[in-house]
Amino acid sequence: MSVLEIKSPIPGIFFRSPSPDSDPFKRDGDPVDASDVIGIVEVMKSFHEIKARISGSKIRFLVDDGDAVMAGQVLSEVEP
């Protein structure tokens, strides 16, 4: 089975929740819809929502909360 990839459009720090004391937008194994926010990337104190833009039955994150990411880096994989 092939997986679909969600990539970061910008470089920065990836966060899986909107704030340190909040639940993550998505957890490994959750279903995902194209309009769902899966995380945020912070660049110079500016926060950018990352939307899935694809739908699937399960999401699996390839980066951890607080990891530095590059533009084009795969953040997660989604099973169709």
The 3-state secondary structure of 18-56, one letter per residue: CCCCCCCCCCCCCCECCCCEEEEEEECCEEEEEECCCCE
How confident is residue 2, by pLDDT bands cut at 50, 70 and 90?
confident
Burial 38-72, CB ≥16 within 10 A → b, else e: bbbbeeeeeeeebbbbeebeebebebeeeeebeee
How many distinct structural domains can be found in the chain?
Answer: 1
Q: What is the pLDDT of residue 63?
A: 97
Phi, psi (deg, nearest 5) at residue 11: -80, 150
Please tell me which residue, 2 or 62, carries the higher pLDDT value. Answer: 62
pLDDT digits (tens, 9 = 90+) for 14-69: 999 999 899 999 999 999 999 999 999 999 999 999 999 999 999 999 999 999 99
Residue 74 sits in a domain whose CATH number is 2.40.50.100
**Domain limits for position 37:** 4-79
Mean pLDDT of the chain: 96
